[in-house]
A and B are shown apart, each in its own frame.
Chain A
Amino acid sequence: MARKKRADQPIVIKGASDTPPMAASMGSMEWNKTASWRSIRPVILEEKCKRCMICWKFCPEPAIFPTDPPKIDYEYCKGCGICIVECPFDAIVSEKEGK
């Protein structure tokens, strides 16, 4: 899946005159890689996975692609662990994040 690159010029707001009327993000969802927030990493065990897609439905981000088998987007997954808890087949396990 193609992702837009972050704009070359960082967006700098000087004051009221260039502040937009409402607090709407200007592309930060794309380039703010929330992977850095993770302290645990969910891992899908493909042999156990039944492709029910419950993990994809429950992911709050969403950071799971509804593919066969589902794939976790580790650029954005924040490690909340909901998919681990919700999988009815215990096909997602938790691993410690980090070096």
Chain B
Amino acid sequence: MKKVLTGNFATAYGAKAARVNVIAAYPITPQTTIVEMLSEIVADGELDASFVKVESEHSALAACIGAQSAGSRTFTATSAQGLALMHELIHWAARARLPIVLANVNRAMGPGWSIWADATDSIAQRDTGWMQLYCENNQEVYDTILMSYKIGEHADILLPALVNLDAFFLSHTSQVVDLYDQKTIDQFLPPYNPKIKLDVNHPRSFGALTSPEHYYEFSYKIQNAQEKAKEIIRKVGKEFGEMFGREYDLTESYRCEDAEFILVNYGTLAGTVKDAVDRMREKGIAVGSLKIRYFRPFPSEEIQSVLKNVKAVGVIDRAISYGHEGPFFTEVRSNLYGSKASLYGFIAGLGGRDVSIMDIESMVDYMKKEQPSHLIWIGVKK
């Protein structure tokens, strides 16, 4: 059934469709309507879940960790400062191998106090072991929440997922979303049933002191799970396509086959770039777009196969690692080591600044005229 929904409502409907057992979240603009909608859904009896009111984001993730450890499917949502407040437990959730799903509304970190779109908050959680991905539109947000539980709960994965949606550009933007039939969803996503969990009948202790003799192997296993996740993401994405009509992968190529210039992007920019690609193609410029959905696990094979022989690659980052360059640019470039492609690192849209089709055309213009540069600030007012 098709409905016009904001990104936040699509997120809430995704959690509802996934039949989550426990929801614990703390309000923060621009995430609040996710949790408000979920509390209404639970209060109306449309979802049989425990809604835990907590006093901070740290407590929200703590509650999810506790509940997930006991065998519940849990969900939380936050943004920017809230995600940062959760940080030590973000490490915990992944290392404890708990497939929690957290919807993060990508918002800039303050000061300057900003409620607008920026990927710095999620990228700062990059190394924690969570799977991490960026959504282009509200349909993808809804679909991704469903897939993330299936992928995360796979016995060989057991990792949480950070599902990112841009502040306001998705969270508060109404788009058409196709909501699926619950019976089919239940076939796709069976209940959560972990082998190891908190159980008074089979007592265990969790997160115990781990000496150098064993910690290294636990870490090795987390990395293996992330690498295996690539295969499972592709498999589940295909299965999703067969059951619901929309197939997903780690990345998405658009008009890259014969492209001279390829723009690598993520988040809502992916949509705008596709329109810009069409416009530039009409003007005879051979440009294509490579949208990165998953940042972790990093889609190294896809990036190499699509980009290695192209003339120029421009990576558009909605974040910057101060003291160096755009984080996606760093990773794409290192992944292309040995390639002859000219590489350009564009910074755009920080703090919610709009990135228009004209801005994107100016990036390709730059790639045509200027030498490769690792740090090009689009639209900065000097």
Binding site for B on A (CB under 8 A): 14-17, 22-23
Contact = CB atoms under 8 A, between A and B. Distances in A.
Nearest to B111: A23
Contacts of B110: 23
Contacts of B381: 14-16
Nearest to A15: B381
Contacts of B113: 23
A22 B113 CA distance: 11
Contacts of B358: none
13 contacts: A14-B381, A15-B380, A15-B381, A15-B382, A16-B380, A16-B381, A16-B382, A17-B382, A22-B111, A23-B110, A23-B111, A23-B112, A23-B113
Interface string B187-208: 0000000000000000000000
Interface of A is mostly: loop
Interface residues of B, number: 7
Contacts of B380: 15-16
Contacts of B382: 15-17
B81 to A, nearest CB: 14
Contacts of B112: 23
B220 to A, nearest CB: 43
Contacts of B111: 22-23
A31 to B, nearest CB: 19
Nearest to A17: B382
Interface in B358-382: 380-382
A14 B380 CA distance: 11
A15 B233 CA distance: 44
A86 B340 CA distance: 69
A75 B267 CA distance: 43
B259 to A, nearest CB: 33
A90 B196 CA distance: 57
Nearest to B114: A23
Interface string B279-293: 000000000000000
Contacts of A16: 380-382
A23 B114 CA distance: 11
A23 B112 CA distance: 5
A23 B113 CA distance: 8
A14 B112 CA distance: 17
Interface core residue of B110, B111, B112, B381 (most chain A CB under 10 Å): B381
Contacts of A22: 111
